[in-house]
Amino acid sequence: MTIIHLILLILLIPLKMEMTEEKETAETAETKKSDGNLFKDIFNICNSYTKIFKDKRKISPEYIPLKLPGREKDCTKMASVLSDAFSGCMPMNIFIYGMPGTGKTSVIKRVFDEMEKFQKKNGHNENKLNKVKIITKYINCREKATTEYQVLLRILEDERLKEIASGRGSNPDNNNEDKIYGYKLDGLAVEKLYEFLEKVLKRGKIALLVSLDEVDAIRKNFDKDNLFYNLVRMNSSLNDNLSDNPEESDNFNGGIAIISTTNDMKFKEKLDPRTRSSLSKKDIFFERYEASQLEKILEERKNLAFYDGTVEKSAINYAAGYVRKTYDGDVRYALNLFQIAGEITEKEGKSKVTHEEVRKGCDVVNVDTLNEGIKRLYKHLIIVLYAVADAIFKKRYKRLIDIHSDAILSGEAYEAYEEKCKELGEKAKTMRWFREYLNDLQKGEFLALSESGKGVRGNTTIISVGKYYTPKEVVERVEKLLLNEEVQKEEKQKEGTE
Ligand SMILES: Nc1ncnc2c1ncn2[C@@H]1O[C@H](COP(=O)(O)OP(=O)(O)OP(=O)(O)O)[C@@H](O)[C@H]1O
Ligand SMILES: [Mg+2]
């Protein structure tokens, strides 16, 4: 440091102190004015907005409304198959096929709900034909039910089944001899779990309707085959020795029907032929929503979530058309978009949502979710995502081109990942880790995985970019992020050398 620097420093220190003091005084005044409470400030700002939402929850994709426009016929179809259970005759198993956001989960939940309500109202004992008790059990396989064992645990852990298994119903003194199973199920052999299930269904004369939503999340084919085969077989073993007279009240020993949903149109073909042939089944296909159906859905949701007169018809038409064209009619996207358009309208102090706010919303939704999402990923997850998106975008691999033009095989993805690691100066992780990364990216909906079926040699995983993004968008976002990191790194290095 030269003598001139030193003099300058001495002169500047008091000035800097003065500035700091001034800033602090201003901050203190600001803090005083706002009371220092973060939430009070937020509420004050929100109170200054115009009021558009009457009940924001009801525009959220999590909310399932009572009316499901565009799916009324499917609800009726499913209900009419399942209604057999009321007369003690086990319904056929149902397979629902449909792309993401076509209402599969909503329909199942709605029909199950109505079935339980109907039973409650009409009392299952009133019908002289049977003493059947219907229990509907919703399971999303993606949520801790990805193996045969876990699915069975989820079923047996149902409080209503546990109650019957405890024997308390038949003996108020709770005679332990009547107990089929207690609390600790985890760790028992899988055969034991099937045995418990059969016994409890028999004891309660239960028609158990299990939904295996997103059934392809059960990872191993072996598990899927066993599960379907054993559950279906349980029906015949429960009802083997029944009288032929349907009027006899004891003409039902319990049973089980499975309602599965999947995006994979080839799901059933991949089951073992032995399992397939044992399945009596009804297939229901959910087509993608047309723009006119999306309009009806949004119209209904608008009535629930927005104040009267705050949404222009043009906004609904624009959103429906855009989502149909850009996102294959995925209704989740339409709902998100509509919520954001409402928020933009409020913030801008306008009184009506028009197509203009929806248009602005379109830009926000995609970029926002992708940017924020990517930023939260660990480095190697980002590299895997980048490698897959880049390989698909540049059409590097051709093996799948005729079957899935926007997808690659897991072996190809690993190769692309290794190359990207090299480019970025990172050591590639092993295949085992890579598979974990793929699963994590699937959970975050960055990637979509499906098992290869016919037309692809060997049993491998097919990987594409998640439904909300295009490969190009992902590549651009990741490159921007990596570039930013590089710039920051360089700046830090420069600072260090200066
Ligand atoms: N017909 C409809 N009417 C009103 N809202 C609907 C309708 N269909 C779907 N939704 C809304 O969209 C959300 C997403 O739909 P849903 O979860 O049923 O789709 P999905 O086909 O199960 O998708 P995925 O394959 O991704 O699981 C629902 O929670 C609900 O809010
Ligand atoms: Mg679903």
pLDDT digits (tens, 9 = 90+) for 169-211: 555 555 556 788 877 888 899 999 999 999 999 999 899 999 9
Reading phi first (left if > 0) and then psi (alpha if -120 to 50, else beta), residue 278 is in: alpha
Q: Can you say whether the dihedral through the CA atoms of 473, 474, 479, 484 is positive or negative?
A: positive
User: Which ligand sits nearest to residue 448's alpha carbon?
Assistant: 1
Classify residue 52: in a domain, yes or no.
no
Q: Does the pLDDT value for residue 30 go beyond 70?
A: no
Q: In terms of pLDDT, which residue wins out, 43 or 332?
A: 332
Segments of 345-433 assigned E as strands: 407-409
* Domain C-terminal end among 338, 354, 374: 374
Taking the centre of ligand 1 as the mean of its atom positions, its distance from the CA of residue 162, in whole angstroms, is: 31
> If you write DSSP's letter for every residue of 295-347 in order, what string do you get?
HHHHHHHHHHHB-TT-B-HHHHHHHHHHHHHHSTT-HHHHHHHHHHHHHHHHH
- The answer to whether the CB of 461 is under 6 A from ligand 1 is no
Q: Which two tokens stand for residue 393?
A: 């975008």
Q: Which of 175-184, 287-296, 431-440 has the lowest mean pLDDT?
A: 175-184
Residues in the chain: 498
Say what the pLDDT of residue 241 is.
64
> If you write DSSP's letter for every residue of 139-180 in order, what string do you get?
EETTTT--SHHHHHHHHHT-HHHHHHHHTTTT-TT--GGG-S
Taking the centre of ligand 1 as the mean of its atom positions, its distance from the CA of residue 336, in whole angstroms, is: 12
Question: How many beta carbons lie within 10 A of that of residue 377, not counting itself?
Answer: 19
CATH number for the domain that contains residue 325: 1.10.8.60
Taking the centre of ligand 2 as the mean of its atom positions, its distance from the CA of residue 285, in whole angstroms, is: 14
The mean of the pLDDT values for the chain is 83
Are both 251 and 297 inside the same structural domain?
no
- pLDDT tens by residue, 232-242: 999 888 877 66
Are both 393 and 466 inside the same structural domain?
yes
- The answer to whether the CB of 212 is under 6 A from ligand 1 is no
Say what the pLDDT of residue 94 is.
96
Classify residue 152: in a domain, yes or no.
yes
Are both 78 and 159 inside the same structural domain?
yes
Are both 81 and 206 inside the same structural domain?
yes
State percent of the chain over pLDDT 70. 79
Instruction: Kindly calculate the radius of gyration of the chain based on its CA atoms and give it in whole angstroms.
Output: 29
Report the distance separating Cα 65 and Cα 301, nearest Å. Answer: 8
Say what the pLDDT of residue 391 is.
95
Cβ neighbors of 97 (< 8 A, separation 6 or more) are: 261, 262, 263, 264, 265, 267, 283, 284, 285, 286
Determine contact, residues 217/142, Cβ cutoff 8 Å.
Answer: yes
- The answer to whether the CB of 404 is under 6 A from ligand 1 is no
For the CA of 296, the closest atom of ligand 1 is 3
Q: How many domains does the chain have?
A: 3
Q: How confident is the model over 333-347, as a mean pLDDT? A: 93
Say what the pLDDT of residue 454 is.
60
Are both 334 and 321 inside the same structural domain?
yes
- pLDDT tens by residue, 105-160: 999 999 999 999 998 887 655 454 557 899 999 999 988 899 999 999 999 999 99
Q: In terms of pLDDT, which residue wins out, 394 or 243?
A: 394
CATH number for the domain that contains residue 437: 1.10.10.10
13, 14, 338, 485 from 10: Cα distances, Å: 6, 8, 59, 36
Are both 445 and 314 inside the same structural domain?
no
Taking the centre of ligand 2 as the mean of its atom positions, its distance from the CA of residue 365, in whole angstroms, is: 21
* Domain C-terminal end among 254, 286, 318: 286
For a substitution probing ligand 1, which of 55, 63, 64 has the most ligand atoms within 8 Å of its CB? 64
Q: Which of 110-114, 301-305, 393-397, 413-417 has the lowest mean pLDDT?
A: 393-397
Taking the centre of ligand 1 as the mean of its atom positions, its distance from the CA of residue 324, in whole angstroms, is: 14
Confidence class for position 82, pLDDT limits 50, 70, 90: very high
For the CA of 62, the closest atom of ligand 1 is 29
Measured distance between the N- and C-terminal CA atoms of the chain, rounded to whole angstroms: 13
Report the distance separating Cα 8 and Cα 94, nearest Å. Answer: 82
- The answer to whether the CB of 60 is under 6 A from ligand 1 is no
Classify residue 358: in a domain, yes or no.
yes
Say what the pLDDT of residue 20 is.
40
Residue 333 CB burial class (10 angstroms; 0-12, 13-18, ≥19)? buried
Q: Does the pLDDT value for residue 14 go beyond 60?
A: no
Classify residue 424: in a domain, yes or no.
yes
Report the distance separating Cα 382 and Cα 441, nearest Å. Answer: 9
Are both 279 and 365 inside the same structural domain?
no
For a substitution probing ligand 1, which of 109, 261, 332, 338 has the most ligand atoms within 8 Å of its CB? 332
Classify residue 389: in a domain, yes or no.
yes
Q: Residue 74's Cα: distance from chain center in Å? A: 21
- The answer to whether the CB of 361 is under 6 A from ligand 1 is no
Confidence class for position 5, pLDDT limits 50, 70, 90: very low
- pLDDT tens by residue, 453-474: 666 666 688 999 987 788 998 9
Q: Does the pLDDT value for residue 423 go beyond 80?
A: yes
- The answer to whether the CB of 263 is under 6 A from ligand 1 is yes
For a substitution probing ligand 1, which of 108, 111, 285, 331 has the most ligand atoms within 8 Å of its CB? 331
Task: Measure the CA dihedral 295/301/304/305, to 10°.
Answer: -110
User: Which ligand sits nearest to residue 72's alpha carbon?
Assistant: 1
Taking the centre of ligand 1 as the mean of its atom positions, its distance from the CA of residue 100, in whole angstroms, is: 8
* Domain C-terminal end among 344, 374, 404: 374
Say what the pLDDT of residue 12 is.
38
Q: In terms of pLDDT, which residue wins out, 353 or 458?
A: 353
Say what the pLDDT of residue 487 is.
63
Are both 403 and 458 inside the same structural domain?
yes
Are both 81 and 217 inside the same structural domain?
yes
Q: How confident is the model over 308-313, as a mean pLDDT? A: 96
Say what the pLDDT of residue 29 is.
44
Q: In terms of pLDDT, which residue wins out, 89 or 45?
A: 89
Question: Whose CA is closest to 280, among 239, 231, 207?
Answer: 231
- The answer to whether the CB of 102 is under 6 A from ligand 1 is yes
Classify residue 208: in a domain, yes or no.
yes
Q: In terms of pLDDT, which residue wins out, 305 or 252?
A: 305
Question: Three-state DSSP class for 417?
Answer: helix
* Domain containing residue 302: 289-374
Q: In terms of pLDDT, which residue wins out, 319 or 364?
A: 319
- The answer to whether the CB of 329 is under 6 A from ligand 1 is no
Residue with tokens 């003493």: 131
Determine contact, residues 391/412, Cβ cutoff 8 Å.
Answer: yes
Taking the centre of ligand 1 as the mean of its atom positions, its distance from the CA of residue 65, in whole angstroms, is: 10
Classify residue 414: in a domain, yes or no.
yes
Q: How confident is the model over 405-431, as a mean pLDDT? A: 93
User: Which ligand sits nearest to residue 58's alpha carbon?
Assistant: 1
Q: Does the pLDDT value for residue 495 go beyond 80?
A: no
Taking the centre of ligand 1 as the mean of its atom positions, its distance from the CA of residue 331, in whole angstroms, is: 6
Classify residue 38: in a domain, yes or no.
no
Are both 355 and 488 inside the same structural domain?
no
Q: Does the pLDDT value for residue 344 go beyond 50?
A: yes
- The answer to whether the CB of 302 is under 6 A from ligand 1 is no
Cβ neighbors of 96 (< 8 A, separation 6 or more) are: 78, 104, 107, 108, 259, 260, 261, 262, 284, 285, 286
Are both 113 and 154 inside the same structural domain?
yes
Q: Output the residue whose Cα is nearest ligand 1's atom 17.
A: 105
Taking the centre of ligand 1 as the mean of its atom positions, its distance from the CA of residue 58, in whole angstroms, is: 13
Taking the centre of ligand 1 as the mean of its atom positions, its distance from the CA of residue 140, in whole angstroms, is: 14
Are both 225 and 322 inside the same structural domain?
no
